[in-house]
Amino acid sequence: MEPSLIWKTGRAATFLATLLFIFHHIAMLSIEVTFDRDKEKLTAGFVLAKEAFSAIYFASITTTEFVMVSTILKQLKIINSQLGHLALASSLLFKLATFAVGTLFGFINAFTNISFQVGARFAIYSLALIVFTVVVSRKTMLFFIRSTPVGKPMKEIYTTMTVCVLFFLSAIGDEVGLHYGYGPLIFGLAVPARSPLAEVLVAKFDTLVSGFFLPLMAVFCSSKINLFQFIHEFKDAVHLHISFIGYVMKLLVTFIGAYFCKIPFRHAIALTIILNAKGITEIAQFLSFGDITDFDAASGIFLVFLLQAFQPLLIKKLYNPADQYIGHQNKSIEKASDDAELQILACAHRQEDAVAAIKVLQHSNPTKQSPLSVYGLCLEELVSSSTPLLINHQLGQKMSSYKVSRSQPSIDIFKYFKSQYKKFVRVNMFTAVSPLKQMHEDICRLSFDKACSLIILPFHKKWNSRGKMVSSNTDIRNLNITVLERAPCSVGILIDRTRTQGLSSIFLASTYRVAALFFGGPDDREAVAYALRMAGRSGVHLTVMRFITPTTEQVYHDWDYMLNSEFLRILNLGVSENGSIDYVEETVRDGADTSFIIKSMVGGYELIMAGRRHQAEPQALSGLSEWMDLQELGPIGDLLSSEDITSSISVLVVQQQIMKASHSSTLN
């Protein structure tokens, strides 16, 4: 878990956690199941055990478990969505408050119902356990982490000692009167999140526990349930009836609380189901405190299985994070006003990505009438924590204090850019820590919240100073594809093939040559629109190259053709007024001619800009489109990223904002 999440929760999460906490404890105090000893001829010990199990049964069904909330969010790949952050924060607050109050009542019960001496001993032992876990264990783990050189694997003895301490804390906690899970919970909070130690623990034990032991327990429980007995004795399942009524009441309370927080109706229902998710944690409760062959325990497990079967399906139907990003307002550079602030989100997985983005951004020509606002988003994979984070560095938010963040070099690059361009440029820095497969949610949400007109994504391939490809990351490629499908604004994939690396490559050259390729269509218009903005800066020389074919059809009733014509008319006016802009037309017969011209020009420019989709001139791209390897780049981007190109150059492949109800066809 990430303890810092507690201090970053908003009012909605605090309100929901408080509401659920109050309902859970009022419900627990309001219900009591009694047994007639004389009539049923039961022993006193049996009655006490059954009554205790009744309370545990009801508590398991009406509680909110952070572990189950986190699990279902990961399963549905919405853990770092807006709803996911709210659910995680609410459930974590609820869980910690429940543990704190449970411990307090345990102290009070020991003092009042047993003896002062027993209560004092219980309190001292419990506090000693907490202090040992938070202070001694954490300091020891920090020593393990600092003793491990950067990039080197952690020693096996460190991991073994940590696991031994885990079992020791569980056993000692149970011995002094605490729940056996209390020590491991505090210990989990004490482990530095996203540290090498946390990564090793997850890598070693997550597969074993989640992939073997938990399914084995679920299979074991399901094999013990007698469905025919359950149906036959259903009317006598008092625990099941009462708990199900309590569960429905908690659903209503959660929904009312979510709706009161002004969450949309469908999202409020989805959040209600998430916060009441049931699964392996409840099954473990029934196994720990009940007999699996007992009908009541079996009915509880069956109820959990039943609820678990429908939860993911309902949430998928009710909540899709991409829905809120559907383009209903124009957020593109072509449609941006000349006297409005241009907002760009630049993403970076590592320092080289930040450097490549800054080299493009510094030529974006900020002026007093049209300033530039850059949001630098450092992307860090979540590998050893249950809680994704979106950190706003302007608010003083920091990563875990055990070491410097892996994103710090990228943050330093954006800070340098901020220090060099204070006039008409505003730079804000963020860090997103989330699973790579769900990282698109952070990118889309931040660009949506900040009303960005363009997202710049780093390409998934990297080249060395000799022009040889050295790495290719499929996960980053899939991330880029998903962002293209769901982005609420225009998207540019930046291919950096420049030979100069590091901070020194950022300094402005006296001349910056840009080529914008135009075949027609919204993506090409967007690329040229951004290039025209750059051309207003001193030292930037722009060449707009239009490709036409001898048989180009002039379909005057075609809307896209008219938009292209009007765009070119305005472009030619700009060419006549600005001596740093050249307009060239190249007549080609097919994709082979187009490929030859583009390959011959790459050495003469620092940046080439092109659109991703080209429907206007299919003949000019014939052959190129059919043999594309990278659909997300389009035929021109695919050509410029191929091994045939060895020049030192940057390429920005642009897709204009998708203005339609579905984003599913954007890669077609």
pLDDT digits (tens, 9 = 90+) for 451-461: 899 999 999 99
Distance between CA 460 and CA 345 in Å, rounded? 18
- pTM of the predicted model as reported, rounded to 2 decimal places: 0.76
Q: Where is 576: in which H helix or E strand?
A: helix 559-577
Taking 90 as the threshold, does the pLDDT of residue 648 lie above it? no
Two structure tokens written together for 549: 């074919």
**More confident site: 354 or 405:** 354
Q: State the Rg of the chain over Cα.
A: 30
Sheet with 454-458, edge to edge strand ranges: 389-392, 425-434, 372-381, 342-348, 454-458, 490-496, 650-655, 607-611, 512-518, 540-548, 581-587
DSSP letter assigned to residue 521: S
With bands split at pLDDT 50, 70 and 90, how would you rate the model's confidence at 250? very high
Question: Which amino acid is present at 140?
Answer: T
Report which of 332, 377, 282, 376 is spatially closest to residue 563, judged by C-alpha positions: 332
Question: Which amino acid is present at 95?
Answer: K
* Strand partners for 495: 651
Instruction: Please say whether the beta carbons of 64 and 251 come within 8 A.
Output: no
Q: Vertex 172, ends 170 and 173: CA angle to 5°?
A: 65
Contacts of 638 (CB under 8 A, 6+ apart): 624, 628, 629, 630
Distance between CA 399 and CA 193 in Å, rounded? 9
Angle separating helix axes 439-449 and 474-486, nearest 10 degrees: 40
Residue 199 neighbours by CB distance under 10 Å: 15
With bands split at pLDDT 50, 70 and 90, how would you rate the model's confidence at 666? very low
Angle separating helix axes 66-75 and 280-289, nearest 10 degrees: 140
Instruction: Please say whether the beta carbons of 377 and 432 come within 8 A.
Output: yes
pLDDT on residue 665: 44
- Digit-coded pLDDT (tens) for 398-431: 555 444 467 788 888 888 888 887 788 899 999 9
**More confident site: 526 or 154:** 526
Two structure tokens written together for 653: 């492949």
Distance between CA 359 and CA 508 in Å, rounded? 8
Distance between CA 286 and CA 297 in Å, rounded? 6
Residue written as tokens 């804000």?
428
- 354, 667, 521, 326: CA torsion to nearest 10: -80
Q: Is the dihedral of CA 470, 473, 479, 481 positive or negative?
A: positive
pLDDT on residue 256: 94
Residue 245 neighbours by CB distance under 10 Å: 15
Taking 80 as the threshold, does the pLDDT of residue 551 lie above it? no
Distance between CA 133 and CA 165 in Å, rounded? 9
With bands split at pLDDT 50, 70 and 90, how would you rate the model's confidence at 61? confident
pLDDT on residue 16: 93
Distance between CA 322 and CA 88 in Å, rounded? 19
Taking 50 as the threshold, does the pLDDT of residue 252 lie above it? yes
Q: Vertex 521, ends 516 and 523: CA angle to 5°?
A: 55
Distance between CA 251 and CA 643 in Å, rounded? 57
Q: Where are the alpha helices (DSSP H) in 437-521?
A: 439-449, 474-486
Two structure tokens written together for 520: 């027609």
Instruction: Please say whether the beta carbons of 523 and 611 come within 8 A.
Output: yes
Taking 60 as the threshold, does the pLDDT of residue 46 lie above it? no
* Strand partners for 458: 494
Contacts of 637 (CB under 8 A, 6+ apart): 493, 495, 610, 612, 630, 651, 653
Highest mean pLDDT among 156-165, 179-188, 266-275, 419-428: 266-275
Distance between CA 35 and CA 40 in Å, rounded? 8
* Backbone φ, ψ for residue 544 (5° rounding): -100, 115
